[in-house]
């Protein structure tokens, strides 16, 4: 990877409530429920390459039909690049193999996962559109070789990511959202809080409301007058 020469394109909207979902049907459903930042994360072991291509294309197309949508494709950056995706989300290991320069030149937004201060510094040097920090809490959805970050360290690491906006991820329930957002993050990524909820639509409505309230609580009276 050559040294970066410019920032990745900035986000066009807030990160806020950020569901991570396994297929394009979920992406379409969430867009219909008012979510505007979504990540498609497909488990490759469960799908053929043709299936993955169809899911990626369908998710990208769904996002392109909704003004303000920010649909990120996890991992499958070649497919995302070819289909004109809004953005991609990559892990640390992808920095060694993905064509970061091609993604930047094409105008895609880039999110990068980080788990330690060293990874945070490495990812920040790429000048991505946002950084993800996690896991904040223990999670059973993914085998993680990292210990949970926790709220205390999250609050310390967020300033180190500046000027990149930060999304927190990992074991975050709706009940934990206010505490996580109080650490200064711009968004909260959730998985099972939506996909395994008894009433996913209600969970989404609650998540959107919580995120909006947290943002509102940070604003000064002057900020509110400018709205």
Say whether pLDDT at 221 is over 70: no
Residues 15-59 have pLDDT tens digits of: 999 999 999 999 999 999 999 999 999 987 778 999 999 999 999
Task: Please state the domain extents for the chain.
Answer: 16-226
Pair of tokens at residue 23: 């297929």
pLDDT tens for each residue of 79-92: 999 999 999 999 99
Q: Shortest CA distance to 188 belongs to which of 64, 63, 37, 52?
A: 37
Considering the segment(s) 16-226 as one domain, its CATH architecture is Alpha-Beta Barrel (3.20)
Global confidence as pTM: 0.93
What is the C-alpha to C-alpha distance for residues 18 and 13, in angstroms, rounded to an integer?
Answer: 12
Q: What is the mean pLDDT of residues 178-203?
A: 97
Q: How far apart are CA 18 and CA 111, in angstroms?
A: 12
């Amino acid at each position: 990877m050559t040294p970066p020469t410019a920032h990745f394109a900035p986000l066009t909207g807030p990160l806020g409530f950020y569901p991570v979902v396994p297929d394009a049907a979920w992406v379409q459903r969430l867009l219909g429920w008012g979510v505007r930042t979504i990540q498609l994360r497909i488990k490759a072991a469960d799908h053929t390459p043709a299936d993955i291509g169809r899911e990626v294309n369908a998710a990208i197309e769904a996002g392109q039909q909704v003004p303000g949508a920010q649909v990120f494709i996890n991992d499958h950056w070649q497919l995302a690049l070819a289909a004109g995706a809004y953005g991609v989300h990559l892990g640390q290991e992808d920095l060694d193999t993905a064509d970061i320069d091609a993604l930047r030149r094409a105008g895609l937004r880039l999110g990068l996962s980080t788990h330690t201060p060293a990874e945070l510094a490495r990812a920040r040097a790429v000048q991505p559109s946002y950084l993800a920090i996690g896991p904040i809490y223990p999670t059973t959805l993914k085998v993680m070789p990292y210990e949970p970050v926790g709220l205390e360290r999250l609050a310390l690491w967020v300033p180190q990511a500046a000027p990149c906006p930060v999304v927190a991820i990992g074991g975050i329930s709706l009940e934990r959202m206010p505490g996580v957002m109080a650490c200064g993050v711009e968004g909260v990524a959730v998985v099972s809080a939506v996909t395994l909820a008894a009433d996913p639509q209600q969970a989404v409505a609650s998540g959107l409301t919580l995120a909006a309230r947290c943002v509102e609580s940070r604003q000064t009276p002057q900020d509110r007058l400018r709205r």
